Amino acid sequence: MKNKILTLTMLVVACSVNARNVIITSFGDFQIEADGLYYQSYKLGGKSLGNSEFLEVDGQLLGMSDGSNYIVLRGVTGGSGCAEVLSIVKLSEREASFSPALNACGGVDNVEFNNGVVTVTAFERDEITKVEYLVEGRKVLENGKSMLVKHKFAENN
């Protein structure tokens, strides 16, 4: 059983507005590139996967399960919005899918990867109340219930 836990310190802010991040996967390089001041673009092996309006997006490979690679992305909204927004990216030979935006308004407590299931524990804006997201394929649960309001993390995906 593969089990991987990342704490907030593992999700290091490693990029500036004009930086380029590369995450090596078994399907090629997953690239995060600044596309102007407010946009980030995502590519796999040079092929465009989409873009987002988050600032300072960084990411980390979580692991592999059932022939797919899993990446956690973290972006900053800026202004008075949520402190951070995450997305779980599932890469396979045929597709790349981004989970809906997972709001971490008060920050991220941890990210756990276990055989293709990703559990994100974050804080609400009050920085006390916890929210738990469970991402398994296209299914996303928020505090044990189906996520009702889903906002895309990336467009054109």
CB contact set of 128 (below 8 Å; sequence gap of 6+): 106
139: part of which helix (H) or strand (E)?
strand 139-142
- pLDDT tens-place values along the chain, 157 residues long: 455 555 544 443 333 444 579 999 999 999 999 988 788 999 999 999 999 999 889 999 999 999 999 999 999 987 777 889 999 999 998 889 999 999 999 999 999 999 999 999 999 999 999 999 999 988 999 999 999 888 999 987 5
| pTM for the structure as a whole | 0.85
